Amino acid sequence: MRFQYRILNILLSTTILLGLSACGPSPDPSSKAGNGASQSVASTPRSRMPSDSALKSLYIQSCYGCHSSGAAGAPRSGNIADWAPRLQKGMDVLLHNTIHGINSMPPKGMCIACSDEEFTQLILFLSGQRE
């Protein structure tokens, strides 16, 4: 029985890691030699972090992988253009989509233990409404 549990645990962990690998940060286009750009739009979300340490921890663990780079169509952290159409729908819709998942985003955005209040604070940070 322990052996089966261990195999199941390894398979589950591998599946999660493979799924998240698609959301990893992409190379910073501004770091390529000869492109002439001092800072790209995509590099700003990667460096944004919440000032609150607890929120920062949740953001890094659950949001950063996709929202810092815009992977799989995720709105980038602090990018007003990405978030404007979503903000127009209102916080209730944003919270519902976060909890239940939308498009490539899994339910609860990989933060299974997050409360509605924590999700609200994360949404406010991601959308640039809070630092």
| 1 band by pLDDT with thresholds 50, 70 and 90 | low
Does residue 16 form part of some domain?
no
Residue 56 near residue 50 (C-beta atoms within 8 A): yes
| Structural domain contains residue 2 | no
Decide if 26 is inside a domain: no
Domain containing 65 — which CATH number?
A: 1.10.760.10
Q: Is 74 domain-assigned?
A: yes
Dihedral of CA 84/104/23/57: which sign? Answer: positive
Say what the pLDDT of residue 86 is.
95
Query: Cα dist. 22→19, 29, 32, 43, 88 in Å?
Result: 6, 18, 21, 18, 28
Report whether pLDDT(126) > 60. yes
pLDDT digits over 17-48, tens only? Answer: 445 444 544 444 333 333 443 333 433 566 78
DSSP per-residue string spanning 67-129: HTTTGGGPPPTT-HHHHHHHHTT-HHHHHHHHHH-BTTBPGGGG-TT--HHHHHHHHHHHTTS
Based on the structure, what is the number of domains in the chain? 1
The verdict on residue 87 lying in a domain is yes
Verdict on whether the full-model pTM lies above 0.75:
no
Partners of residue 102 on adjacent β-strands: 105
In a domain, 24, yes or no: no
**Domain region containing 129:** 48-131
In a domain, 55, yes or no: yes
Residue 76 confidence (pLDDT):
95
